[in-house]
């Protein structure tokens, strides 16, 4: 056991506190935009449990439909489930970096929002399957069995990125992390906007509207921080950002479009099974966009992000999958990506 060193008997004032340390003991406010976003977050707070669940009757759907819709929520939760711990790590980093007070509060609001989004996945899956998760549930149909296998592979892949993230957070500056965060937020805002438009169930519409609004605020947080920090960005950071955007594209494609097989470790029939379920969900009034519509939306989201990065002269990676030319990024390191949503 190490002895605690005592100082107060030897000196009038204590020694410097070693950094990084979570103690700024300071509440400096500089970035007005962050204060505004925080106030909006306080105003717009919502509770997934208080949506109009009383209008939702899963029994009006067939078991194939229930399993198909629950599969979509499961796919989403592979991304949304990681968001609270990912942003909680980022929140700690804002303390260690002695970020200004409204920045710390904004990251705190993101953690809370993402916890709501994750809860929403859980509530939907539990009601649809009559079981709290898709992994240990007993499938009722043949399609349900195949979807469960898909879900297990998604879970396996998603779980691999957590260690990479934990290694990445201390290594990169918040500035580098923002660009990955922004990418995740643009992707998320895109998907929830699409889903709010395409869903007939009242409770899902409400949820997608709320979640989409949250994601819009998260985007605003990233943009405000970029405006503050990117004018002085070093070129080595720009290189890392270009790489992370390419990695983020491959990672997020699994939920925004379809998982690229060179990145996601999945069985051959994975996409065919997913498409089958999406068709069934769509016909049941759960408006997952078609593959073509997804690709178009994903492309527009990427162009959006490119527009932001262009402002700061950060080279955009080539994304031939959606017809975007740019800097070739060949060595996407699975161990170092910042998986974010
Ligand atoms: Fe989210
Ligand atoms: Fe978000």
DSSP 78-101: HHHTTHHHHHHHHHHHHHHTT--H
Distance CA 20, CA 23 (A): 9
Nearest of 287, 294, 278, 291 to residue 67 by alpha carbon: 278
pLDDT surpasses 70 at 336: no
| Cβ atoms 179, 245 nearer than 8 A | yes
Overall average pLDDT of the 245-252 stretch:
89
Enter the tokens of residue 337. 């990506």
pTM: 0.92
pLDDT greater than 60 at residue 293: yes
Position 319 scores a pLDDT of 93
Q: In this structure, which residues have their CB less than 5 angstroms from ion ligand 2?
A: 188, 215, 218
Per residue in 82-119, pLDDT (tens digit) is 889 989 999 999 999 999 999 999 999 999 999 999 99
- Contact between 253 and 43 under an 8 Å Cβ cutoff? The reply is no
Find, among 83, 263, 236, the residue nearest to 171 by Cα: 236
**Predicted confidence (pLDDT) at residue 337 exceeds the cutoff of 70:** no
Give the tens place of pLDDT for each residue, 161-185.
877 788 888 888 888 888 888 888 8
pLDDT in tens, 50-84: 999 999 999 999 999 999 999 999 999 998 888 89
From ligand 2's centre to the CA of 227, what distance in Å? 19
Provide the mean pLDDT of the chain: 91
pLDDT reported for residue 334: 62
Please state, in angstroms and rounded to a whole number, the distance separating the CA atoms of residues 71 and 151: 7
Question: What is the tens place of the pLDDT at every residue in 195-216?
Answer: 998 899 999 999 999 999 999 9
Domains located in the chain, CATH noted = 32-46+57-336 (1.20.1260.10)
> Residue 107 C-alpha to ligand 2 middle, in angstroms?
10
**Which tokens hold the place of 340?**
């974010």
Query: Is the pLDDT at 39 greater than 70, yes or no?
Result: yes
% of residues, the chain, pLDDT over 70: 96
> What distance in angstroms lies between residue 114's CA and the mean position of ligand 2's atoms?
6
Residue 113 Cα to ligand 1 middle (Å): 7
Q: How far is the CA of 181 from the centre of ligand 1 (A)?
A: 11
Query: pLDDT confidence of 339, banded at 50, 70, 90?
Result: low
What pLDDT does residue 92 have? 92
Mean pLDDT of 222-248: 90
Looking at all shown ligands, the one closest to residue 87's CA atom is: 2
Q: How far is the CA of 11 from the centre of ligand 1 (A)?
A: 50
Q: What pLDDT, on the 0 to 100 scale, is given for residue 142?
A: 98
Whether 164 contacts 339, CB under 8 Å:
yes
Greater confidence, 297 or 3?
297
Ligand (nearest to CA of 114)? 1
User: Which ligand has the shortest distance to the CA of 90?
Assistant: 2
CA of 341 to the centre of ligand 2 (A): 6
In this predicted structure, the answer to whether residue 6 has a pLDDT above a threshold of 80 is yes
Residue 62: which of 143, 171, 151 has the closest Cα? 143
Q: How far is the centre of ligand 1, averaged over its atoms, from the C-alpha of 9 (Å)?
A: 51
């Amino acid at each position: 056991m190490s002895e605690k060193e005592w100082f107060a008997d030897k000196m009038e004032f204590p020694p410097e506190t070693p950094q990084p340390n979570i103690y700024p003991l300071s509440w400096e406010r500089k970035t007005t935009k962050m204060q505004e976003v925080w106030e909006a977050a306080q105003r717009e707070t919502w509770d997934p449990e208080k949506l109009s669940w009383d209008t939702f009757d899963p029994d009006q759907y067939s078991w194939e439909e229930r399993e198909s819709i629950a599969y979509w929520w499961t796919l989403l939760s592979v991304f949304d489930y990681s968001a609270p711990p990912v942003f909680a790590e980022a929140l700690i980093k804002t303390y260690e970096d002695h970020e200004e007070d409204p920045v710390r509060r904004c990251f705190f609001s993101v953690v809370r929002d993402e916890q709501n989004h994750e809860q929403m996945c859980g509530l939907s899956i539990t009601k649809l399957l009559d079981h709290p998760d898709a992994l240990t549930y007993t499938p009722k149909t043949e399609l349900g069995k195949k979807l469960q296998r898909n879900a297990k592979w998604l879970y396996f892949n998603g779980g691999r990125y957590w260690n990479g993230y934990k290694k990445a957070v201390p290594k990169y500056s918040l500035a580098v992390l923002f660009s990955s965060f922004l990418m995740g937020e643009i992707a998320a805002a895109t998907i929830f906007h699409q889903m709010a438009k395409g869903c007939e169930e009242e409770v899902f519409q409400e949820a997608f509207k709320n979640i989409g609004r949250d994601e819009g605020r998260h985007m605003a947080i990233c943009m405000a921080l970029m405006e503050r920090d990117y004018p002085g960005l070093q070129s080595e950071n720009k290189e890392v950002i270009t790489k992370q955007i390419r990695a983020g594209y491959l990672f997020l494609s699994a939920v925004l479009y379809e998982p690229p097989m060179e990145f996601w470790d999945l069985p051959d029939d994975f996409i065919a099974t997913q498409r089958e379920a999406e068709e069934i969900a769509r016909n049941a009034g759960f408006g997952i966009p078609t593959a073509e519509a997804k690709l178009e939306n994903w492309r527009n989201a990427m162009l959006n992000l490119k527009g932001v990065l262009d402002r700061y002269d950060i080279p955009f990676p080539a994304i031939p999958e959606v017809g975007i030319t740019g800097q070739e990024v060949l060595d996407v390191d699975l161990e170092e990506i910042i998986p974010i949503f």
